[in-house]
Amino acid sequence: MSKLRIANLSPHLSHFFLALAALLFVLTGAHAQTRPNVMILATGGTIAGTGATSTTTVGYTAAKIGVDQLIAAVPELAKVANVKGEQVFQIASESMTNEHWLTLGKRVNALLAQSDVDGIVITHGTDTTEETAYFLNLVVKSRKPVVLVGAMRPSTALSADGPINLYNAVAIAGSRDAVGKGVLVAFNDQIHFARDVSKTNTSTPDAFKTPELGLAGYIQGGKPFFYRTTARKHTVDTEFDIANLNALPQVDIVYGYANMSPVALDAFIAAGAKGIIHAGVGNGSLAARVKPALIAARKKGTFIVRASRVGQGILARNGEANDDELDFVAADTLNPQKARILLMLALTKTNNTAEIQRMFYTY
Ligand code: DAS
């Protein structure tokens, strides 16, 4: 067709071809190929919980409804991704174990290695979300998004927060902007880095916070907005690999408080703990009645990490104790429950204190 004739092509005819193209796009499902493929791995928790009435927001039962029901309850998911569900566990997350973590981590890595999986959402109880998220942050071997999500109110409650949290998490997991950010936690329209987030309230929908180090960004209208990157290594940049691991070394946490004694510490050591996280008062201070027991444990080969029960701030090496002399490790800004995860993985790689300390300054 000559250039002149194309220029004169009736606008009505061009509108017809545009409408026809749009119709074909919808009918052939071509739009589905433009949406990301997101796997939803369900593990239980309040997001899957049910209560006796719509006003039951405490005293409900967690881990009751399955992943298919979670997905069916939010048909809007189809707007942002092609989703598939898999019920990995059905537990309240206070019962999460090292074995659950290894199973989940291996499943996540297997799925992310598939070219037809663009991202993963993990629905999870809120009690240990921060721990599972940090564990995965250290062992996932992909740059694809992994987003943990849960709910502070059961699915049967008035203004249940699970559906919108799930929609947001799927939108983030399918977003190219979330690639390479490490494992993320999505709650209450906010996006948090796995390393720095913690649950800060027993029951309110805004329980997840990253108080001083700051959240990663927000999710609004089905689109994530990131304002920070994390300074610490994660996922593909870590030295940890669980592919051939079937167990993690036993590490326990001793909680510090006025009048504490070495009884708990001694019990953990007697039970075979390979490492102890001392969640000390203040900057990880060691009570006079407990310090000798920690020193004795170290001499017998148990690794000691000084952390703090405080929640924010740097646990300074050689601050409240001479870590160089005692051969202890300082937890930096990791809270005790996350320090435990890093020490467990560190002990799968080394028995050298200086190497373990390097890891606490790296991850
Ligand atoms: N028991 C809590 C848990 O499973 C319920 C929740 O808040 O998700 O972590």
Asked if the model's pLDDT at residue 216 lies above 60, the reply is yes
Q: How far is the CA of 63 from the centre of ligand 1 (A)?
A: 8
Mean of pLDDT over the chain: 94
Instruction: Pick 6 or 283 by higher pLDDT.
Output: 283
Residue 18 Cα to chain centre, angstroms: 44
pLDDT, position 27: 57
pLDDT tens string 88-103: 999 999 999 999 999 9
Looking at ligand 1, which atom is closest to the CA of residue 150? 8
* H or E segment and range at residue 17: helix 11-27
pLDDT-derived band at 60, boundaries 50, 70, 90: confident
pLDDT-derived band at 9, boundaries 50, 70, 90: low
Q: How far is the CA of 50 from the centre of ligand 1 (A)?
A: 12
Answer yes or no: are the C-beta atoms of 291 and 319 closer than 8 Å.
Answer: no
Mutate to test the pocket of ligand 1, among 60, 126, 203, 206 (most ligand atoms within 8 A of CB): 126
Report, as an integer, the average pLDDT of 47-56.
90
- Three-state DSSP class for residue 13: helix
Q: How far is the CA of 250 from the centre of ligand 1 (A)?
A: 24
Q: How many residues does the chain have?
A: 363
pLDDT tens string 325-339: 999 999 999 999 999
Asked if the model's pLDDT at residue 1 lies above 50, the reply is no
The closest alpha carbon to 87, from 43, 47, 123, 121, belongs to: 43
Q: Which of 28, 34, 43, 46 is catalytic?
A: 46
Write down the residue that tokens 């805004």 correspond to. Answer: 206
Q: How far is the CA of 45 from the centre of ligand 1 (A)?
A: 4
Looking at ligand 1, which atom is closest to the CA of residue 46? 8
Mutate to test the pocket of ligand 1, among 58, 127, 165, 208 (most ligand atoms within 8 A of CB): 127
Looking at ligand 1, which atom is closest to the CA of residue 127? 9
Write down the residue that tokens 């326990």 correspond to. Answer: 252
Answer yes or no: are the C-beta atoms of 286 and 260 closer than 8 Å.
Answer: no
pLDDT, position 93: 98
In order of their start, the domains of the chain are: 36-237 (3.40.50.1170), 251-362 (3.40.50.40)
pLDDT, position 30: 55
Angle (CA) 356 333 178, round 5° = 95
Say what percent of the chain tops pLDDT 70. Answer: 91
Instruction: Pick 290 or 50 by higher pLDDT.
Output: 290
Say what percent of the chain tops pLDDT 90. Answer: 86
Question: Atom 8 (ligand 1): residue with closest C-alpha?
Answer: 125
d(C-alpha 137, C-alpha 142), whole Å: 10
| 46: annotated active-site residue | yes
User: Residue 21: beta bridge partners?
Assistant: none
d(C-alpha 245, C-alpha 40), whole Å: 24
The closest alpha carbon to 132, from 284, 340, 305, 290, belongs to: 340
pLDDT-derived band at 7, boundaries 50, 70, 90: very low
Q: How far is the CA of 175 from the centre of ligand 1 (A)?
A: 27
The closest alpha carbon to 74, from 168, 211, 141, belongs to: 168
Determine what percent of the chain falls in helix, strand and coil, rounding each to the nearest 5.
35, 20, 45
pLDDT, position 63: 87
Which positions ≥6 away from 318 have C-beta within 8 Å?
324, 330
d(C-alpha 272, C-alpha 302), whole Å: 9
d(C-alpha 212, C-alpha 230), whole Å: 13
d(C-alpha 209, C-alpha 187), whole Å: 9
**Structure token digits, residue 63:** 């881990």
Taking CB atoms and a 6 Å cutoff, what residues make up the pocket around ligand 1?
A: 45-46, 62, 92-94, 125-127, 150
Write down the residue that tokens 């669980």 correspond to. Answer: 242
Question: Atom 1 (ligand 1): residue with closest C-alpha?
Answer: 92
Mutate to test the pocket of ligand 1, among 93, 123, 337 (most ligand atoms within 8 A of CB): 93
Asked if the model's pLDDT at residue 6 lies above 50, the reply is no
d(C-alpha 216, C-alpha 229), whole Å: 7
Report, as an integer, the average pLDDT of 12-39.
70
pLDDT tens string 102-112: 999 999 999 99
pLDDT, position 242: 98
pLDDT, position 56: 85
**Structure token digits, residue 350:** 């080394």
pLDDT-derived band at 61, boundaries 50, 70, 90: confident
pLDDT, position 193: 98
Residue 222 Cα to chain centre, angstroms: 20
Report, as an integer, the average pLDDT of 141-155.
97
pLDDT tens string 244-295: 999 999 999 999 999 999 999 999 999 999 999 999 999 999 999 999 999 9
